[in-house]
Structure 1
């Protein structure tokens, strides 16, 4: 007779909050049906969509189905995204307080199945069984995300959909899309077609409104919010190449920037430039229902404002201390526009004190800036570059492909990141929404390269953001099996020369 002591604990990533292994297994087969309570149909459809290609299982709905999916608002202890999962030999019960919680539970059920269940093609000869378990799982943080830079290197919509699927498997719930920068403008704006005609030409192309709307729907079906970022008032060379009148020297004609780094051309602060930003953001809000809209704000040289008569007039008219104060003035004007539209303005903070107090901020230079921002009353999403920037190499090995110089961000570094460290006060920690990783793409020419850099480091980020445990030996042990899941999904362990040189377009 088996005992609980002899049972193997499933290797799940991220590790659930509470998990008890039980004797026995439940097997999905062609006779398995679903009992779907009100509010659970989205999770049921996701389960069918994810399991169908490999297993061929249809999982129809029946009132007496052994696999039960239920939304129960009375389960308040599970929060917005938590779930309870009980697997017995005769049935499965997945419950949550909200439909989003059920979506997270579906991903756990998917990981409990044999790794072949992740295949995109039919797999024969596999028993589709899961171990009996009792799981109660509630995330530590509400913001568990990754930023993907599609401005410097364009990624196809097919790649973005696949990337969303990979994030969802790990219960990451935010895809922050960096859509514009000096090197490219990827967001279509009907009233400003040259933004994508001129600004979208280098390094790939641009998306259509329909493509982005479909991506948002695809992500929402998996419990993921797509947060758009439109950079301003710096990192705008692509926009100025398309519309020179938005800049500080309207008579100057500039190409889209073909170098990396920080360009010193920035938006002007005249009314036309401000109206442009508001019009763009109105269209962005039409496409992206995210409560948060990111407007950049970082690395904005003020040299042009010092030299511009129009900018100096603005300083005088507004009673500002000097041209350097125009950055805060600009962010206040644009931030208020988002607030008036019912959205939360989001920006990169250089110091923790440089954005209006109602902004949600992403500290990227130093973790201490996050604490400074929290003390000011900001909501905070931690993004310190030395532990969350995935364009840094994963190791110091000479076999690593070229990456951002200056640091190594290895797997253990990501795992030990604590978005709200124990020495912070309860009030400071309460203002931390969560954390996210950043994948800037100056050194990432292909989709395969992007996936190689993202995984397994995003597995570590998911671990620390979901349960907050940083058990390195335990994580390594679970990751050994989880790596076979990534193999089945085609996530590369190594890069071919083609992937490094950029000969593929995805």
Structure 2
């Protein structure tokens, strides 16, 4: 077997009796079409951490004809595998229909041939070739792989608002996402803990703190370059400005904005940051200026307006705010996305809502004894009163999915139960010597679970008509993280499982997926990425050259 993730739809032995190429190299990247020069450069850069000195400089192939070739070729058409259905969902580049990402890869005696009808298809094939080279030793078996995605939107949310990553660190995550055929980077840029995007029209948002401490943020140049870097790897950046709740940093920067009208039952019960009131002219003007500038700075077609957990706003105030946020984004020529709660402001067929929670998947206890049996809840100081308040506040989420579908909208699947990768690992799967890290990382009230739990997720399990699924997106919120190593430890190995489900449209077979994952620790190590070597996986030793 090969260790490619997502598992290709078809794999067959290639014709001929000659042995396959040696992974030990040397290897060269060759673009067989002038239009693939940019793709070849990206593939070459992605290969460098894995091949090192075995990778020849671009254009050096004439000097070492004996080198194995990774050849990138455009063809008129790629015959679809017999079991390959059409791609569904919303293309993240804003196209009217999904772009053709299908490809065919052949391991030949003298190298690997990547063929597709589009540059993005060629790039997807090349990431498969990279995985073959990084996870294999000796000679590659002669074989032919054919593949195409099921979902057009395959995303990952990063949370620099709470756990800032430098631009170089974000680029490392973009590379990781691209290697597993993800094509959206959702940046959660604002929250109560931080505002991470420079907006020259509102410099107060990223000004030093009152004590003079500089704040970490992405300059407009940083943001422009990150988007360009992602686009070269066929990844679309979607920025999120989370409103009308989660707005403490905005309130600090623009003091004096009035609170949204609050429900009478909430007064004095729990502390919260009051959501914004977009019926207030000064608030509306400030938010309009912010969103116009974010839209202007964003290359892609989508801007996420948040809409989640607006604790302390009446239903009427919340609905008004969501309608206003959507209108402001559309006025700037972008398409708004919101979390599922924004369905309560109404849903149109053009709307995309991100489904993340309902009360059952929150896995909350019903009694004090059940709290006592959950160490993570005890450690967080959870009380029965607080749990009951959570259930009451989140009760409307049980109908959000129905609201989206009844209104004709599209659903972006990000269920907390499986795709929130800021979940601690179950202690029983954590290897010796890693317990401290594992205990420190993860949202404190989520039940710790293993890699197999994530891999069991089935995108079809919600009964949503396929034409109403926008796509799939994993998240890694950063309440507990302090570094890129923390982020990738939460992501890996679980991100590979989500990527497999997003690409194929189904949960991977655990036995085969586990065996393939066993070879990917080596790939992550070569890229300098920290990961959690779960005892669920029989991790393979480094392959022999």
Question: Where do residues 483-494 of structure 1 align in structure 2 (5 Å cutoff)?
Answer: 483-494=521-532
Q: Which residue does 2:249 correspond to in 1?
A: 238
Once structures 1 and 2 are overlaid, which stretch shifts more, 207-216 or 486-495? Answer: 486-495
Residue 192 in 1 paired to residue 202 in 2?
Answer: yes
Q: Which residue does 2:294 correspond to in 1?
A: 284
Change (3 A) 1:382 1:371: farther
TM-score normalised by L of structure 2 = 0.75
Q: How large is the Cα RMSD of the aligned pairs?
A: 3.0
Matches of 2:458 and 2:209 in 1, distance apart?
A: 38
Contact persistence 1:237–1:266 (CA under 8 A)? no
Question: Where do residues 467-506 of structure 1 align in structure 2 (5 Å cutoff)?
Answer: 467=504, 468-494=506-532
Change (3 A) 1:181 1:198: farther
Q: Which residue does 2:447 correspond to in 1?
A: 407
Deviations, residues 412-432 of structure 1 (Å, cap 9, x unaligned): 2222222233x726xx22111
Give 1:26's match in structure 2, choosing from 21, 24, 46.
21
Give 1:447's match in structure 2, choosing from 465, 470, 484.
484
Q: Which residue does 2:411 correspond to in 1?
A: 380
Give 2:133's match in structure 1, choosing from 85, 97, 113.
113
Structure 1: unaligned runs, 5 residues or longer: 1-8, 117-125, 250-259, 304-322, 496-506
Contact persistence 2:10–2:146 (CA under 8 A)? yes
Residue 102 in 1 paired to residue 105 in 2?
Answer: no
Contact persistence 1:34–1:61 (CA under 8 A)? no
Matches of 1:80 and 1:69 in 2, distance apart?
A: 16
Which of the pair has the greater relative contact order for Cα pairs under 8 Å at 6+ separation? 2
Matches of 1:271 and 1:73 in 2, distance apart?
A: 56
TM superposition shift of 1:203:
10
Q: Which residue does 1:318 correspond to in 2?
A: none
Contact persistence 1:199–1:238 (CA under 8 A)? no
Once structures 1 and 2 are overlaid, which stretch shifts more, 293-302 or 38-47? Answer: 38-47
Once structures 1 and 2 are overlaid, which stretch shifts more, 323-332 or 182-191? Answer: 323-332
Contact persistence 2:151–2:502 (CA under 8 A)? yes
SS at match of 2:164: coil
SS at match of 1:235: coil
Change (3 A) 1:301 1:52: closer
Change (3 A) 1:329 1:192: same
Contact persistence 1:237–1:263 (CA under 8 A)? yes
Matches of 1:171 and 1:266 in 2, distance apart?
A: 38
Give 2:223's match in structure 1, choosing from 212, 217, 220.
212
Matches of 2:27 and 2:480 in 1, distance apart?
A: 49
Give 2:420's match in structure 1, choosing from 361, 367, 389.
389
TM superposition shift of 1:204:
5.5
Contact persistence 2:183–2:234 (CA under 8 A)? yes
Q: Which residue does 1:70 correspond to in 2?
A: 73
Question: Where do residues 43-82 of structure 1 align in structure 2 (5 Å cutoff)?
Answer: 43-52=39-48, 54=52, 55-60=54-59, 67-72=70-75, 74-75=77-78, 79-82=99-102
Q: Which residue does 1:306 correspond to in 2?
A: none
Q: Which residue does 1:315 correspond to in 2?
A: none
Give 1:424's match in structure 2, choosing from 456, 463, 470.
463
TM superposition shift of 1:33:
6.1
SS at match of 1:278: helix
Contact persistence 2:259–2:277 (CA under 8 A)? yes
TM-score normalised by L of structure 1 = 0.80
TM superposition shift of 1:32:
4.5
Deviations, residues 31-87 of structure 1 (Å, cap 9, x unaligned): 856242143222211122223451241242889996542234544858522211122
SS at match of 2:124: helix
SS at match of 1:263: coil
Q: Which residue does 2:540 correspond to in 1?
A: none
Give 2:470's match in structure 1, choosing from 433, 437, 451.
433
Deviations, residues 142-191 of structure 1 (Å, cap 9, x unaligned): 11111111111211111101111111111111111000011111111111
Matches of 2:318 and 2:413 in 1, distance apart?
A: 22
Q: Which residue does 2:320 correspond to in 1?
A: 329
Matches of 1:101 and 1:148 in 2, distance apart?
A: 25
Matches of 2:278 and 2:286 in 1, distance apart?
A: 11
Matches of 2:192 and 2:120 in 1, distance apart?
A: 36
TM superposition shift of 1:17:
1.5
Deviations, residues 249-274 of structure 1 (Å, cap 9, x unaligned): 9xxxxxxxxxx995234344322222
Structure 2: unaligned runs, 5 residues or longer: 81-85, 87-98, 261-269, 362-397, 534-545
